[in-house]
Amino acid sequence: MAREKKQRNRPKKSFLYGMNSIRERLKVNPSAIRKIYIQDNFDNEELIDLIKKRNVFLKKISEGELIRMKKADRLQGIIAEIEEYQYVEDNLLLNEAMKNGFSIICLDNINDPHNLGSILRICACFGKMAVVIPKHNSVSVNDTVMHVASGGENYVKVCVVDNMSRFLMRAKEKGLWVVGTVVDGAQDITKTELPLPVCLVLGSEGKGIRAGVEKHLDMKVKVPMKGAQLSFNVAMAAAMFCYEIARQRKS
């Protein structure tokens, strides 16, 4: 019985794979890496030297062993066993947003790990952005998300909230304006002065922002489209909205 309890309490394993993801983790947060495994013919000397400089356990294994350890495309001959991703507490995130001018990207109804990974990478590139996801009906920061983020997860704080509507209400109490990306009745983002720092809400490509969340929006914005009236993938839309936030922040 005690043995079963001990196994249940063991920390879950997470894996980083691909050279870019592991390189960035080594640069930013090497203490979160438990072990690194490389394929026996792995020959990236620059990365091997970095692993040794960070004093991370390194072991060579066969290609078959590597694939059995993590079944995924584009392993690139290297896997890192890491600590579970650490989310930030919502109060700390809101305080930092107001103190340091961070904009918060709230993701409603986002279930595709590739979209979340891309958005983390986008937010990392523009800087001074954080991400909020709901606890339920949402993808979490898993192995696939971190792989797609290509190291972006090291530079972007992510918060998980029990209730997105309550979080937005608290954000407004702190002084943040809540802006949502919708199609109907929205202003052109390129012609709208944003109240920075801002809480930007993005919905899924299919469902959009839920009605219970949309009622908390102070402002509705959209990307102008003069071509075919198709919808943007949420990660593509995030890139455009984050660019506009960064542009207005700079000016």
Residues 232, 192: Cα–Cα separation, whole Å: 20
The answer to whether the beta carbons of residues 156 and 120 sit under 8 Å apart is: yes
> Do both 114 and 74 map to the same domain?
no
> Do both 119 and 223 map to the same domain?
yes
Q: Is residue 2 part of a domain?
A: no
Per-residue confidence (pLDDT) for residue 223, from 0 to 100:
84
Q: Is residue 220 part of a domain?
A: yes
Q: What is the pLDDT of residues 112-167, one digit of tens each?
A: 999 999 999 999 999 999 999 999 989 999 999 999 999 999 999 999 999 999 99
pLDDT higher than threshold 60 for residue 8: no
pLDDT higher than threshold 60 for residue 21: yes
Task: List the helix and strand counts (H, then E) for the chain.
Answer: 10, 11
Mean pLDDT (the chain, rounded): 90
What is the rounded average pLDDT of the residues 221-232?
A: 75
Residues 107, 208: Cα–Cα separation, whole Å: 10
Give the domain CATH number at 181. 3.40.1280.10
The encoded tokens of residue 2 equal: 């005690």
Residues 189, 246: Cα–Cα separation, whole Å: 12
pTM of the model as a whole: 0.91
Q: What is the pLDDT of residues 163-195, one digit of tens each?
A: 999 999 999 999 999 999 887 778 889 899 999
Per-residue confidence (pLDDT) for residue 9, from 0 to 100:
52
Domain that holds residue 98: 90-250
The answer to whether the beta carbons of residues 167 and 207 sit under 8 Å apart is: no
Per-residue confidence (pLDDT) for residue 230, from 0 to 100:
61
Nearest Cα to Cα of residue 241 among 206, 194, 174, 205: 194
% of residues, the chain, pLDDT over 90: 77
Domain boundary among the residues 62, 82, 102 is at: 82
